[in-house]
Amino acid sequence: MASSNSREAVLAAAKRSAMARGYNGLNFRDIAAEVGIKAPSIYHHFATKAELGAAVARRYWEDTVTQLAAISDEAHDPRIALCRYPEIFRKSLANDNRICLSSFMAAEYDDLPDPVKIEVQNFADVNVAWLSTLLVDAEILGPDESESRARAIYAAVAGAQLFARGRADIALFDTMIDSYRAAGLLPA
């Protein structure tokens, strides 16, 4: 059980680090210091930085799937769920001006090991699939058009997060989301 707790603590610390500094900012010594273990102990759970990075990115998109499902369940209406979608990205900004781990890692894409690239792509894919399904369920678009709009929504919301982070201004994120609603990209 202690080993499982240690692994979870390493994953949590690595997630925080990656959201602040990206994949290249993952440092076993820093993570170990935060967790309160020796750096070589991390190798017990993750043989390489690539393995740790992939595990962090996988957990991140799995957690996002859970968050998206919760939004759908709580909203009971696909339009309301679509309106709530930006909340996920806003939470990162509200947490010490962090950004979506996947956005950070996507910016480093050329330098990522293949297993990490796959998990970063999975994050985008689960977001686009969820958005696409809700666009159809809300009768905003048909199945043939929904994926293209879903990609645009994902890119716009992630872009708003990047823009707001670069200015350390969460209100800017809110203003941009409001403008997406006014323009019709997101339902109002």
Residue 7 located in a structural domain: no
| Domain that includes residue 168, residue range | 54-183
SS3 27: coil
Residue 30 located in a structural domain: no
Residue 120 located in a structural domain: yes
Residue 106 located in a structural domain: yes
Q: Write down the pTM of the prediction.
A: 0.90
Residue 32 located in a structural domain: no
Using 70 as the pLDDT threshold, list the residues of the chain that sit under it. Answer: 1-3
C-alpha–C-alpha distance, residues 57 and 68, integer Å? 16
Residue 12 located in a structural domain: no
Residue 10 located in a structural domain: no
**Residue 130, domain CATH:** 1.10.357.10
Pseudo-torsion of CA 89, 94, 95, 97, nearest 10°? 90
Q: How many domains does the chain have?
A: 1
At 132 the pLDDT is: 98
Q: What is the pLDDT of residues 112-154, one digit of tens each?
A: 999 999 999 999 999 999 999 999 999 999 999 999 999 999 9
Residue 67 located in a structural domain: yes
